[in-house]
Amino acid sequence: MNIILFGGDGFCGWPTALHLSELGHSIVIVDNLSRRKIDIELQVESLTPIAPIDRRIETWKEVSGKDIKFLHFDIAQDYEILLRTIKEEKPDAVVHFAEQRAAPYSMKSSRHKIYTVNNNLNATNNLCCSIVESGFDIHLVHLGTMGVYGYGTSGMKIPEGYLNVELKEGNKSAEMEILYPAHPGSIYHMTKTQDQLFFYFYNKNDKLRITDLHQGIVWGTQTDQTKRHDNLINRFDYDGDYGTVLNRFLMQSAMGYPLTVHGTGGQTRAFIHIKDTAKCIQIALENPPQANERVKIYNQMVETHRVKDLANKVSQLTNAEITYLKNPRNEAAENDLHVKNDCFLSDGLLPTTLDEGLLEEVIEIAEKFKSRADTTKILCKSNWSNA
Amino acid sequence: MNIILFGGDGFCGWPTALHLSELGHSIVIVDNLSRRKIDIELQVESLTPIAPIDRRIETWKEVSGKDIKFLHFDIAQDYEILLRTIKEEKPDAVVHFAEQRAAPYSMKSSRHKIYTVNNNLNATNNLCCSIVESGFDIHLVHLGTMGVYGYGTSGMKIPEGYLNVELKEGNKSAEMEILYPAHPGSIYHMTKTQDQLFFYFYNKNDKLRITDLHQGIVWGTQTDQTKRHDNLINRFDYDGDYGTVLNRFLMQSAMGYPLTVHGTGGQTRAFIHIKDTAKCIQIALENPPQANERVKIYNQMVETHRVKDLANKVSQLTNAEITYLKNPRNEAAENDLHVKNDCFLSDGLLPTTLDEGLLEEVIEIAEKFKSRADTTKILCKSNWSNA
C-alpha cells in the first residue's frame, strides 16, 4: 500500500512508520516537527536521545534497505500543500497522528487551549476535506483516545464506539444506535470528541471510509524496528505535560525519588504497549471499512490498571517509595473501567502486557538514560480549572 | 445589564441589539463585518438597503436617545483584543452570534468548508476561554440551530437538548441523560454540534453558565425598532446561499417567476419570526442558569411547515406558480418534525405566526424593494457531495 503518515515523526508515528515500512508498504511521513518544538518551549527533552528526522530516515535505509519520504509542512495551516500532496502521492490509506496529544499541555493556559483547538480541529477537517476534494477513495485511519468516553460512565462495559439505546416518550419507544455519549476531561480530549463529529459527517455526506482508534495510554518505548540502531530510538517523555503516569513513575524511581500518585490512585486507566499500537494500525489498515460502511471504531487497548497498582508494580521492581498528592484534574477519585476490545483480538493481536514488558523499561530506558533527566520537570503543573 | 453582542451587525444580531437597548440594557456590539464582506464575495446585496454600522448606531441614538458602542475586530483571530474587551467592559452577559451561519455557503467549496470550521470553532472556543480567563461570572447565550438534531430522527418529539435513554448490557440496565445525538446535515450544522461539546466541557470544567438556543429558520425582516427609521432597516437575503427558502419564494413571486421547490417539498422545517428571536434572547438573558447548573438548552422555534406548504402559502397570496427541482442536499425526501418548545412559551413568549406576518413580507419587503434584486442569484448552486 501507499501510505501517508501525518505526524509520523512523533512517539506513535515513528515506530508505526518503521513497522509498516518493514512490512513492505511505501511510506511518506508528513510532519511539522511540532512535538520537537514543544520540547524547546517546555525546556525539556526526550529522555532517550532521538535523532533528527532526516538522520532517522537515512539510518533506516542503511539497516533495512527501505526508503521513507519526509515532507515538512503543517496540515492545519497549509491546505493547498496538503491537497497537492494527496493528489501527487495517491495514497491508498492515510494515518492521522497530527494532533497535539497531551491533556496537561492543553490545560496549561489560554494560549495552550487555543493552540490545541486550532491545531487539532483544523488538521482533521483539512485532511477530510482534502481527501474529498482529491476524488480518490482513500482509507483514513485516525488515532483517537479512550478519553472520548470519559471514565467509567454507568459502570457498564464501554463498547467499541457505538451504543444501542432505548428512547421513551410516553408509551412510545424506539431503539437507536448512537455514538457513545462524549464526556471529555480536558481540552485535548474535547477536540477528540469533536473529531468524531467530523468523521461522522464526512462519512455520512461524502462516503469517506474512516477507522477511528480509541487508544488507551501508550507505554513502552522501543519496538523491534526502533531497536535496530541507536539513531532509530523512539522518544520517552517523562515531564509533567507529556509524560504518562507510568513514565513519570519510572523516572522517579530511577532518580531515587518517591512515586507521586495524584488523589487516591483509584483512577483506572487503559494501557497498550507501543509495539501493539503499531500492530493495531497495521490491522486497521488491512481491514478497511467497505464502501458505504459507517465509521469503524476500535478500542485500542490491552489491559486496565488503577494508578496505585501501577505505582506498586514499579515499586516492587525498584523498591521506590510512594507518596500521595492532590489531584489537579476535575474527575472522580475512584472509578471502574470495563472496555470491550474484541475487534483487535479477533483480528489477531497478540498483546504485550505490563507484567511482561515493565522490567525492560526500568533497565533499558529509565536506568540507562537517567543522567539525561531534568528532575525539575517531572511534576504536572497544569491546573484544570479555577472553578 | 451590561451586554456584549458578538456578531451584533448581522441579521439576528442587529434587531436583538436594538430590542435590548430599548429595554434599557447597556449594549456593546463586536463585529468583524464578515457578513457584509461575504456579500461582496458573492456579488449580491441585501434586498433591503442596509446602512453602515456607524450610521445605524447614530440613527438609533437620534430616534431613541440611547447609546450603542461598536468595536470592530475578529473574535476567532484576535484573542488578546477579545480578552481585553471582556476585562474592560465587564459584561453581565454576552450573546454569541459570531458564526458563519449559511449551510449552502459552508458547502460551496473546500475553502468555504475550511473557513466555516476555522471561524466558528475558534470563535466559540476563544469566547469561552476569554470568559474563564477573565475570572468574571458572565452568562454566555449562544445562538445555535435546530439542525444539530438532524431532522425527524425516530419520529418522536425532539426534546430541549437532552435525552433520557436506557442502556442495556445483558441483564443489566441503566438510565442516562445525554445530549441529543448529533446528526448534522452540513459543515455549518456540524460546527454547531461541535459547539455543543465546547459548552459541555467549559460548563463541566469551569462552571461557565451557558444558555444554548437551538433556533429554527428565522423569517421576517423588521422589528418594532428597525421600523423606526430607514437607516435601521434589517437585512433581507434572497440569494441561494444566505436566503432562506421562504425569502427565495418571496423574491421569486415578486419577480413573476415560479417558486422553485427542491425535491418533493416534503421536508419539514421549524420557523420563528425575527421579532421572536429578539424576544427569546431577552427571555434567555432574564433567566440565566444558576451556578453549577448544566448548559441550559431551549428550542427557539414557533411552528413547523413542510416546504411545499410554504410555497402554497406564498402562492395563495401572490398567485405565483410552483415548480419542482432536484434536491442538492443529502437528506430524506420527506420527514416529520415534532419539537418541544415549552421553555419559551412558559417564560412568556407570545409568538408571531406565519399566517399573521407573511403578507407584510410580500408587500413591505419583496414588492417594495424588488427593483434592487439580482435575479441570477436566487438559486442555490452548492452541491452537498459528489458521493
The predicted structure's pLDDT at residue A171: 80
Q: Residue A165: which pLDDT band, with cuts at 50, 70 and 90? A: confident
Residue A280 near residue A287 (C-beta atoms within 8 A):
no
Q: Does B125 sit within 8 Å of A114, measured CB to CB? A: yes
The predicted structure's pLDDT at residue B169: 77
Q: Does A138 touch chain B (CB under 8 A)?
A: no
Q: How far is A17 from chain B (nearest CA, A)?
A: 28
DSSP string, B54-121: HHHHHHHHHHH---EEEE---TTT-HHHHHHHHHHH--SEEEE--S---HHHHTS-HHHHHHHHHHHH
Q: How far is B314 from chain A (nearest CA, A)?
A: 32
Helical packing angle, A13-22 and A53-64, nearest 10°:
20
Which range marks the domain in which residue B23 is found?
Answer: 2-237+271-301+336-351
Query: Catalytic residue at A326?
Result: no
Q: Does A382 touch chain B (CB under 8 A)?
A: no
The predicted structure's pLDDT at residue A262: 87
Helical packing angle, A187-206 and A110-134, nearest 10°:
20
Q: Does A157 sit within 8 Å of B169, measured CB to CB? A: yes
The set of catalytic residues of B is 145, 188, 192
In tens, the pLDDT along A101-125 reads: 999 999 999 999 999 999 999 999 9
Q: How far is A184 from chain B (nearest CA, A)?
A: 7
Residue B177 lies in a domain: yes
Q: How much helix, strand and coil, in percent to the nearest 5, is found in chain B?
A: 45, 20, 35
Q: Which residues of A304-328 are buried (b: 16+ CB within 10 A; e: fewer)?
A: bbbbbebbbbbbeebebebeeeebb
CB contact residues (below 8 A), chain A span 89-118, against chain B: 110, 113-114, 117-118
How many domains would you assign to chain A?
Answer: 1
The predicted structure's pLDDT at residue A23: 98
Q: Which of B129, B64, B68 is nearest to B96 (CA)?
A: B129
The predicted structure's pLDDT at residue B224: 97
pLDDT-above-70 percentage for chain A:
98
CATH number, domain with residue B77 = 3.40.50.720
Burial classification of residue B59, based on how many CB atoms lie within 10 Å of its CB (0-12 exposed, 13-18 middle, 19 or more buried): middle
d(CA B147, CA B308): 19
Residues from chain A that touch B132, judged by Cβ atoms under 8 A, are 110, 385-386
Residue A386 lies in a domain: no
Residue B191 lies in a domain: yes
d(CA A252, CA A248): 6
Q: Does A153 touch chain B (CB under 8 A)?
A: yes
Residue B375 lies in a domain: no
Q: How far is B174 from chain A (nearest CA, A)?
A: 7
Q: What is the mean pLDDT of chain B?
A: 93
CB contact residues (below 8 A), chain A span 200-229, against chain B: 200-201, 204-207
| B357/A151: higher pLDDT | B357
Written as nine digits, the cell of B39 is 456579500
Residue B213 lies in a domain: yes
Residue B282 near residue B348 (C-beta atoms within 8 A):
no
Q: Which of B94, B188, B85 is nearest to B138 (CA)?
A: B94
In which residue ranges of chain B is pLDDT below 70? 151-154, 386-387
Q: Does B363 touch chain A (CB under 8 A)?
A: no
Whether pLDDT at A264 is above 80? yes
Q: Does A181 sit within 8 Å of B176, measured CB to CB? A: yes
Of A129, A135, A155, the CB nearest to B114: A129
Q: Which residues of A61-82 are buried (b: 16+ CB within 10 A; e: fewer)?
A: eeebebebebbeebbbeebebb
Radius of gyration of chain B (CA): 20
Whether pLDDT at A151 is above 80? no
Residue B62 lies in a domain: yes
Q: Does B136 touch chain A (CB under 8 A)?
A: no
The predicted structure's pLDDT at residue B153: 56
d(CA B134, CA B223): 34
Whether pLDDT at A258 is above 60? yes
The predicted structure's pLDDT at residue B98: 98
Residue B365 lies in a domain: no
- The pTM for the full model equals 0.96
Q: What is the ipTM of this complex?
A: 0.95
* Angstrom distances, CA of residue A83 to CA of A79, A88, A128: 6, 9, 10
Q: Does B182 touch chain A (CB under 8 A)?
A: yes
Residue A229 lies in a domain: yes
Burial classification of residue A289, based on how many CB atoms lie within 10 Å of its CB (0-12 exposed, 13-18 middle, 19 or more buried): middle
Q: Does A164 touch chain B (CB under 8 A)?
A: yes
Q: Does B291 touch chain A (CB under 8 A)?
A: no
Q: How far is A305 from chain B (nearest CA, A)?
A: 23
Q: Residue A338: which pLDDT band, with cuts at 50, 70 and 90? A: confident
What is the mean pLDDT of the segment spanning A280-289? 97
